[in-house]
Chains A and B, each alone.
Chain A
């Protein structure tokens, strides 16, 4: 799955490299800047992955956590080992979180790597107009990856909860991914503006503030708070469901 994610920046870099020129203003943001600075492959790839690829892979991993074991029948043997229900749930969530951290990181690092290989690397002009060196730019790239990792915590918790509801892993995966799409669709409807700040996908793309000098942390903190809320609510739901669940698979 991480390999599939790594393919995205590679695809972008190779496509830009092979095409003679990218008309400015078309395609995803930053795409036109790749030829001048390879580090933008990482930013572009993350931007492109946010709406679908990242939630898709995170949904698959988080949806599989408990339901995957139930589907195989191994859940009953883990529980009679005894693994402990709370401990098993925590370990499973930790696994999903580890993936949510690794996924944007892979996209960022592979993007920076392939960008550096195919394009020149140099100082980066930030959205605030300041210029930073390549090393600091790489730090900003990792900061965006961290922002996305935090953004995916809520979805991971939702996936964990879905996973405790069924013995069919595909069902849990699909419903988690569908929820992430639904959240983004609702976020796009102006009629539901009152709801927007509460949607877990609302701040997913708001990492532009990390590309200013000095860094504006507000969106990072607001996002972290919202994700923390989702983790608390869906973590509690998953706990409540799983500790009382009859394991009949």
Chain B
């Protein structure tokens, strides 16, 4: 599953990363390989362990097992050398409500003793400008909307030039316009040469901006690679619409195709729809698709619809993470 990239070319590398909360394994043996320069989507339903993984990467929490390398350095041992090069948004933004947006950024920037104070003002201003908050810079954060806080949180991650950005659900609470802006922001950061690691429970978001993705499910990493590789992981299939589902299933299995009414548990309404792997693919019988239709008709199955479908990334994610995955916006 891991791409064959030399270790030095990985911006993030985790090995067997685990975190236990009481009896629950929130992160379970995760081996992430995030290539340098990629826009890496970290997908998974709510509670699948994305934020916990990010906390482990940033040294906020100590792993129960496994290790993390960030920008080629061991975490948390090299934390002080690595984190200045990393911008992060973790589990939503957090600020001092009684301070203005700009004052909040000043405070966080000043927390790192090694960043130059002389350029602080200019850096705060340009970070605010980058997320479109210039007009609200002097407003108390208490008076910010959720979306404005989210933008300010992203601005905080951009206070200095970064080699790696770790953004946990950056579009949470943003309106469609804000979501588009974040997308273009992520693209421009990547164009500047930074590696961007974005977590999301929204597939559409990842599909639009990412070059690579990994999928988490219940604390485990179930797939990772380029988007193309992930799409290929799923096979094309045939879709049969018929009232005689039972007979059709028999015919299909005689042809060596194992039919299912609901691949991966996702059952579209009505029991009259059957799915089966595309015939001709390795190990899936020899019959051509049209021969399947002929066989069905010959057996007296009332075929009302027949199609060959390319599995979408969405189906693939549903298949990997199970039902309840929030794939639509």
Contacts and interface: CB of A to CB of B under 8 A. Distances in A.
Partners in one complex: yes
Contacts of A72: 94-97
B83 A81 contact: yes
A80 B60 contact: yes
A79 B83 CA distance: 9
Interface residues of B, number: 25
B183 interface: no
A79 B79 CA distance: 10
A247 B91 CA distance: 12
Interface in B147-171: 156
Given A72-B94, A81-B83, A84-B80, A247 B109 contact: no
B61 interface: yes
B127 interface: no
Q: Name the prevailing secondary structure of the A interface residues.
A: helix
B16 interface: no
Q: Name the prevailing secondary structure of the B interface residues.
A: loop
Contacts, number: 65
Interface residues of A, number: 18
A74, A77, A83, A88: most-surrounded residue (chain B CB, <10 A): A77
A79 B156 CA distance: 13
A240 interface: no
Contact of A87 (B83, B84, B86, B113): B113
A246 B62 contact: yes
Contact of B112 (A73, A76, A83): A83
B116 to A, nearest CB: 14
The 10 closest A-B pairs by CB, nearest first: A73-B94, A81-B111, A246-B61, A83-B111, A82-B83, A81-B112, A247-B60, A78-B111, A80-B88, A74-B94
Interface of B: 55, 58-62, 79-80, 83-84, 86, 88, 90-92, 94-97, 108-109, 111-113, 156
